[in-house]
Amino acid sequence: MNPINTQPNPPATAPANRLFSPRWALASLALSTLLASLGASVAAVALPTLAQVLDASFQQIQWVVLAYLLAMTTLIVSVGRLGDLMGRRKLLLVGIALFTLASALCGLAPSLWLLVAGRALQGLGAAIMMTLTLALVGETVAQEKTGSAMGLLATLSAVGTAFGPSFGGLLISEFGWQALFLVNLPLGLLTLGLAWYALPVRQVPPKAEATRFDITGTVLLALTLAAYALAMTSGRGNFGGLNVALLLAALVGGGLFVRVQSRSVSPLIPLAVFRDKSLVSGLATSALVATIMMVTLLVGPFYLSIALGLPAALVGLILAAGPCVAALAGVPAGRLADRFGVQPMRLAGLATMALGCLMLSLVAPALGIAGYITAIVVTTLGYAFFQTPNNTAVMADVAAQRRGVIAGLLNLSRNLGFFTGASVLGAVFATAAATNDITRASPEAVTSGLHTTFAVALAMAILAVVIALKYRVPEQLGEAKDTRSQA
């Protein structure tokens, strides 16, 4: 096989007073990841308070969360491509500054719709941070330590997800809902300052500067992804006419996007990159795994509260077990990938996830809390062991001018998996529980729903294993096909 990028990274040119070092640069990327992850998870706990304070209905108040996720999902590939063209360090600084300013707007918003607008801007900043942190890893750490660096980013993402709700609840109780957003000001300024001084300055290649940004493709992709995301999240679990119309719009938009990209001189996503089977394998398995992880968050609360009869406080503690495992396992998973190779670790992670899904499809209420936690720990451990080496493999040896767009595709595959899991597997759970109102379902119905849902999840995990075996990623960095760099 030909290596993707045989040329060394362009030399960094930094002022003498700059703090540049791989450690500080990686710290700035880790803080960016933490901020974006907190932004996604911390607001959910405030929805009841915001609904009361702003006199809003559930359908209105859910846009506080949805605006953030939609902005991040619809623009995540486009900002990656923009970073490739204008410089990833420069755009990351813009993203951190935008996230920080948007946080101030949210904290000072006098009305619901100004708050929603601020959340959309936050989501745009988060899209930039989530994408470019992955893309910049190759410029900040040695190649043999890439897995460990990816593991650190995965750990900080899991920390934000795990502790965001509890941290948000503490802020609301002590300082009011505005503190959820205003706390990002000092954190954002710290991250911005560290990134400014620590990240290496690299010259944008003249070819990249001369390349036009694909505005038509960006608009088409954003509208397509927005239609799909809304189709998967609208209707509160009921897939009705509106959902079908949005899904059809997404299909039409996707077709138009592919047509435009095939004819564009400077496409947003060069279609040739999908000839790389290892890249497609990494993206497909990432989406499948994200779908499974979303359903653990969706179904778990109902099983714990209805089938096991646990109080809300204890349910919250048990639900934090999975993200805590992911946070603790991220760095070790990266080190194992550096030592044993990404392909063996990907397969080990997927096999472990399949085992966890099997346990959840068979778990009985008689096993109590211990039975459920054991199955969730196994599933989440498999997720951690898969995600870090998979991210490392997808980003391995990507040519410098394509790192941003490939990182955007990787994040997009995960987000689409989350949306799909919430809708499709959520519908499987509701159907298997055989009730129109899941809050009034019997313990037996909820248990049956859990078993059926994770039987489907098990099939998805097995499919991911098959894809990973059939389309193997490079065992060592530098062995991947050259289609990503030629595109």
Tens digits of residue pLDDT in 143-170: 777 777 887 887 888 777 777 777 777 8
Binning pLDDT at 50, 70 and 90, where does residue 203 land? low
The secondary structure element, H or E, covering residue 224 is helix 215-233
Which residues are 202's β-sheet partners? Answer: 12
pLDDT band at 117 (very low <50, low <70, confident <90, very high): very high
Contact status, residue 49 vs residue 177, Cβ threshold 8 Å:
yes
pLDDT in tens, 43-65: 777 777 787 888 877 667 778 87
Element spanning 195, H or E: helix 184-198
**Of the ranges 134-143, 187-196, 389-398, 473-482, the best mean pLDDT one:** 187-196
Which residue, 198, 174, 224, is CA-closest to 73? 224
Query: How many whole angstroms separate alpha carbon 86 and alpha carbon 475?
Result: 32
Residues 6+ positions from 287 with CB-CB distance below 8 Å: 413, 414, 416, 417, 420
The answer to whether 100 touches 189, Cβ cutoff 8 Å, is yes
Q: What angle do CA 356, 362, 363 make, to 5 degrees?
A: 80
pLDDT, tens digit (0-9, with 9 covering 90-100), for 255-314 = 999 998 888 888 888 888 888 888 888 899 999 998 998 888 778 888 888 888 888 778
Q: Check if the beta carbon of residue 319 is closer than 8 Å to that of residue 302.
A: no
Reported confidence tier of residue 187, pLDDT bands at 50, 70, 90: very high
Contacts 24+ apart (CB under 8 A), 180-185: 180/42, 180/43, 180/46, 180/106, 180/107, 181/103, 181/104, 181/106, 181/107, 181/118, 182/103, 182/104, 182/107, 184/35, 184/38, 184/39, 184/99, 184/100, 184/103, 185/100, 185/103, 185/104, 185/107
Mean of the per-residue pLDDT values for the chain? 81
For residue 13, CA distances in Å to 84, 285, 398 come to 18, 38, 22
Question: Amino acid identity of 8?
Answer: P
Nearest to 427 by CA among 229, 236, 158, 156: 236
Q: Is 174 exposed, middle or buried (0-12, 13-18, 19+ CB in 10 A)?
A: exposed
* pTM of the entire predicted model: 0.78
Tokens of 375: 């199955």
| Inter-CA distances, 341 with 26, 262, 379, 389, Å | 22, 35, 21, 8
Report which of residues 42 and 58 the model is more confident about.
42
Confidence of residue 8 (pLDDT cuts 50, 70, 90): very low
